Structure 1
Amino acid sequence: MPGCDRHGEHKAPKNRGLNDYYHFCFDHVQEYNKAWDFFSGMTQSDIEAHIMQAMLWDRPTKRYDPAAAAAMEDELLKKAHEARFFHKRPHDHENQQKARQEHFRSMDDIRPAPEIEAMAIMGLEPPVDLAGIKAKYKELVKKYHPDVNRDDPKAEELLKSINMAYTILKAAFESYEKMMTGRA
């Protein structure tokens, strides 16, 4: 502030851009901040739009389009089909569980470890890490969540399988971590 000889170590924004600052002493920065209005010069609708954008962490959003989602190739089911866990119709959720069970029964009742089956359900292949499992889980939950698939009751069953697979893999990694670090 003019006439102030104290050190200006406190920043105060010059404008809404928040990339250019004044430097004031503590007393003057408090005075400036009390008088400064971030929304000065904005209309009510501009203010509401800014608040809404801030609620979304200033990230762009898109409306969910079920038709576009249905048109997208389902990578999880495609991989599972290629691994011969499902019937030839990748989008036939009802037959997926049956086909997976038949596949394992046809192996002379030799079932793979639960972790291997869980990886197949999630469409993962070794090697995997916990971060990769979590990322795939988030992707699948968004895709098969009942709120997104209201017209597909079988999506809920698939989501239950995905949740179980994630729980199995997460528990396996936590058990491994405990073993490697010597924690009980």
Structure 2
Amino acid sequence: MPGCPDEGDHKAPKHRGLNDYYFFCTNHIKEYNKAWDFFSGMSNSEVQNHMRESRYGDRPTWKHTETSAEEELLKAARNSYFYGGEKSQHDEKKHNDNKRKFAGDTNTPEYEAMALMGLEPPVTLDEIKTRYKKLAKKYHPDLNRDNPNAEELLKEINMAYTILKLALKDYKELQEKQ
């Protein structure tokens, strides 16, 4: 402030653009901050719009829809593998044939992970990694900005990969003990 003997080492914006500043002493910055109104001169709709945009750091967001084409393809592949078709058109014979492919219980996370990734036993770690890399590239959110569910798909793929990797590790450890 003109005439103030104290050093002005506190920065305060001159306007809403936040690119030009005043420098005040401690006492004067307190006064300025009490009087400062960022939204001064803005209409209610402008204030609401600014608050909505700043909620996400002024970064773009995408609307979430129920399902995307890619997710539907993955679900169809999973359903085809589990049920031999759409769940609503469940074919008992095909379902039982698919169940016989596995020696154990088909209602396991490992079974579901293989179906999600489009794999059939027996699988090797290299096969799991190769399929994971292919799916991760295909469904990565950065490459599918128009797909609001890409992030969730990638999370499912990551989880399936982790489940299969750990199951294979456990299987190998069990084999070594025998």
Partner of 1:6, secondary structure, is coil
- Alignment match, 1:112: 124
Residues 64, 148 of structure 2: 8 Å contact kept: no
- Alignment match, 2:36: 36
- Alignment match, 1:56: 56
TM-aligned CA distance change 1:161 to 1:15, over 3 Å: closer
Matched, 1:164 2:160: yes
Q: Distance in 2 between matches of 1:136 and 1:71?
A: 11
Q: Distance in 2 between matches of 1:23 and 1:144?
A: 45
Selected match of 1:143 from 141, 145, 150: 150
Gaps of 5+ in 1: 78-89, 126-131, 146-154, 172-184
- Please list the CA deviations of residues 71-125 of structure 1 after superposition, one character each: whole Å capped at 9, or x if unmatched: 89x7xx7xxxxxxxxxxxx9633235669679645xxxx5313x742552xx306
Partner of 1:92, secondary structure, is helix
- Alignment match, 1:70: 69
Q: TM-score, with normalisation over the residues of structure 1?
A: 0.51
Partner of 1:117, secondary structure, is helix
Q: Distance in 1 between matches of 2:44 and 2:150?
A: 36
Partner of 1:23, secondary structure, is strand
Aligned residue type for 1:111: V
Partner of 1:40, secondary structure, is coil
Q: CA RMSD in A?
A: 4.5
Q: Which has the larger radius of gyration?
A: 2
Q: Distance in 2 between matches of 1:71 and 1:119?
A: 19
Selected match of 1:94 from 50, 70, 79: 79
Q: Which has the higher contact order (CA 8 A, sep 6+)?
A: 2
TM-aligned CA distance change 1:168 to 1:13, over 3 Å: farther
Partner of 2:12, secondary structure, is strand
Q: Distance in 2 between matches of 1:55 and 1:24?
A: 30
Percent of aligned positions that are identical = 32
Partner of 2:11, secondary structure, is strand
- Please list the CA deviations of residues 123-169 of structure 1 after superposition, one character each: whole Å capped at 9, or x if unmatched: 306xxxxxx89x95997993384xxxxxxxxx8xx975652324566
Report deviation, 1:5: 1.9
- Alignment match, 1:13: 13
Residues 140, 151 of structure 2: 8 Å contact kept: no
Q: TM-score, with normalisation over the residues of structure 2?
A: 0.52
Report deviation, 1:53: 0.6
TM-aligned CA distance change 1:124 to 1:161, over 3 Å: closer
Aligned residue type for 1:112: T
- Alignment match, 2:88: none
Count of residues paired in the alignment: 130
